[in-house]
């Protein structure tokens, strides 16, 4: 039954209860416990998605990546367990799926990114069977590990759609974990990486190192290949080849698919979106380009950073600082530098910790060459970062160590 006439009012309304939304709510209330905050989030569970790569590589328990959403909603905040139907920024209102409205003085949009599985013909029907899998779904990450363990030969294909996607390194992380398993167990598998883009990574400094990781495994990069169709029973994947106007079909024994991604539909069609469909915010202040009382962060935004949890962690203090300044009638002074981090699991036991900021600046947290895979970073990825993430949701962000650092142009010796 609809609730079309209901009107709720709150000082700050946060759309999205993921990493960004929950961290902003927690940090705001840590600094101003009297703030009137509402959170709009329909999900029953909160997921630590960065660990799904490790689940797919047999190195993490899937159950440890999921917790009840209610555990992270601050006691002082009101939770609307609904979806957003529309934004009405001229009226300072959000319309919910039951027709009710939530009015705000300030709005924070942290609604994440949409996985467009249906944009690849035959994919949804194929997933979870015949070696077709994806670490981008909670229920499929364990199946990825089953596929890796059961493979005894043939071709294993790992795809990557056109950017932007969340965690741009995830498509190749699972490739390395699988290739490492094949190598350790002396299993002869032909491994292919098929990204729609022209290189291993968007930052050349790291791409050159990852070229060496691929070579160490004897894996083949097939750049400019966009997956367009999957036939599970026939075990065939069809790709569109960039700039050539042709299609090519690969046979496979295992196919790990990363779905195309976009801004959520309810944002794309709204007045707060730019032409590409993303929440239109200033890349430094995270304030909306047209509506001064609207802010955005995380994967749903127009900021040209890599879409990672590490980016959210750097954005939260900036957004909270600027929003609190606005509450007091002051201008925004905090600035986000575009920082993102991608812990690339180059094997079971080593991680290449790629950290960078706007314009490809190299900004690692530690003063050692970040292109070298290290065992200490594996411990960081598997043990420290999950704890940091769950703690972050209460607004406690932890220390910020990244800084601009200079390294030699020549790529060091790489042992994945």
Q: Is 252 exposed, middle or buried (0-12, 13-18, 19+ CB in 10 A)?
A: buried
Q: How far apart are CA 151 and CA 141, in angstroms?
A: 16
**What is residue 1's predicted lDDT score, i.e. its pLDDT?**
39
- Classify 257 as helix, strand or coil: coil
Angle between helices 170-184 and 204-217 (to 10 degrees): 30
User: Residue holding tokens 């939770």?
Assistant: 79
- Residue 97, Cβ neighbours under 10 Å: how many? 16
Tokens (6 digits) for 124: 């949804």
Q: Is-contact 3 95, C-beta < 8 A?
A: no
Q: Is-contact 175 346, C-beta < 8 A?
A: no
Give all domains of the chain, ordered by start, each with its CATH number.
Answer: 7-113+263-335 (3.50.50.60), 117-261 (3.50.50.60)
The catalytic residue positions are 167, 342
**What is residue 400's predicted lDDT score, i.e. its pLDDT?**
87
Q: Is-contact 216 416, C-beta < 8 A?
A: yes
Q: Is 298 exposed, middle or buried (0-12, 13-18, 19+ CB in 10 A)?
A: buried
User: Residue holding tokens 């609207």?
Assistant: 294
Tokens (6 digits) for 307: 């879409």
What is the H or E stretch that residue 20 is in?
A: helix 19-31
**What is residue 4's predicted lDDT score, i.e. its pLDDT?**
61
Which own/partner contact pairs does 383-388 have at CB distance under 8 Å and 24+ positions apart?
385/50, 385/343, 386/48, 386/50, 386/51, 386/64
One digit per residue, the tens of pLDDT, for the chain of length 416 reads: 345 668 999 999 999 999 999 999 999 999 999 999 999 999 999 999 999 999 999 999 999 999 999 999 999 999 999 999 999 999 999 999 999 999 999 999 999 999 999 999 999 999 999 999 999 999 999 999 999 999 999 999 999 999 999 999 999 999 999 999 999 999 999 999 999 999 999 999 999 999 999 999 999 999 999 999 999 999 999 999 998 889 999 999 999 999 999 999 999 999 999 999 999 999 999 999 999 999 999 999 999 999 999 999 999 999 999 999 999 999 999 999 999 999 999 999 999 999 999 999 999 999 999 999 999 999 999 999 999 999 999 999 988 899 999 999 899 999 99
How many Cα atoms within 13 Å fall on the side-chain side of residue 204? 3
Largest CA distance in the chain: 66
């Amino acid at each position: 039954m609809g609730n079309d006439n209901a009107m709720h009012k709150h000082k700050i309304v946060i759309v999205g209860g993921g990493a960004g939304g929950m961290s902003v709510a927690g940090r705001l209330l840590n600094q101003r416990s009297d703030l009137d905050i509402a959170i709009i989030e329909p999900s029953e569970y909160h997921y630590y998605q960065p660990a799904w790569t490790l689940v797919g590589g047999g190195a993490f328990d899937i159950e440890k990546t999921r917790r009840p959403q209610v555990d992270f909603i601050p006691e002082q905040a009101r939770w609307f367990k609904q979806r957003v139907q529309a934004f009405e920024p001229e009226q300072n209102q959000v319309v919910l799926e039951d027709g009710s409205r939530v009015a705000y003085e300030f709005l924070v949009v942290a609604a994440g990114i949409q996985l467009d599985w249906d944009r690849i013909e035959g994919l949804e029907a194929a997933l979870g069977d015949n070696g077709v899998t994806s670490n981008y779904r909670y229920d499929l990450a364990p199946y990825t590990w089953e596929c890796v363990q059961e493979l005894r030969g043939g071709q294993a294909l790992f795809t990557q759609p056109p950017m932007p996607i969340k965690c741009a390194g995830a498509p190749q992380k699972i490739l390395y974990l699988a290739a490492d398993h094949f190598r350790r167990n002396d299993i002869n598998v032909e491994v292919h990486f098929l990204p729609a883009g022209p290189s291993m990574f968007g930052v050349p400094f790291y791409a050159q190192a990852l070229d060496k990781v691929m070579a160490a495994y004897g894996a083949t990069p097939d750049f400019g290949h966009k997956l367009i169709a999957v036939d599970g029973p026939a075990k065939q994947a069809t790709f569109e080849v960039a700039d050539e106007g042709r299609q090519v079909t690969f046979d496979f024994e295992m196919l790990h698919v990363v779905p195309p991604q976009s801004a959520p539909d309810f944002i794309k069609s709204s007045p707060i979106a730019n032409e590409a469909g993303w929440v239109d915010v200033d890349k430094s202040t995270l304030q909306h380009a047209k509506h001064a009382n609207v802010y955005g962060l995380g994967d749903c935004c127009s900021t040209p950073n890599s879409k990672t949890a590490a980016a959210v962690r750097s954005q939260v203090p900036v957004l909270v600082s600027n929003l609190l300044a606005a509450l007091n009638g002051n201008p925004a002074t905090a600035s986000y530098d575009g920082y993102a981090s991608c812990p690339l699991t180059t094997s079971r036991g080593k991680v290449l910790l790629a950290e960078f900021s706007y314009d490809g600046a190299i900004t690692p947290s530690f003063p050692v060459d970040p292109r070298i895979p290290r065992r200490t970073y594996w411990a960081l990825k598997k043990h420290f970062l999950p704890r940091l993430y769950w703690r972050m949701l209460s607004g406690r962000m932890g220390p910020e160590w990244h800084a601009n650092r200079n390294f030699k142009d020549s790529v060091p010796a790489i042992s994945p």
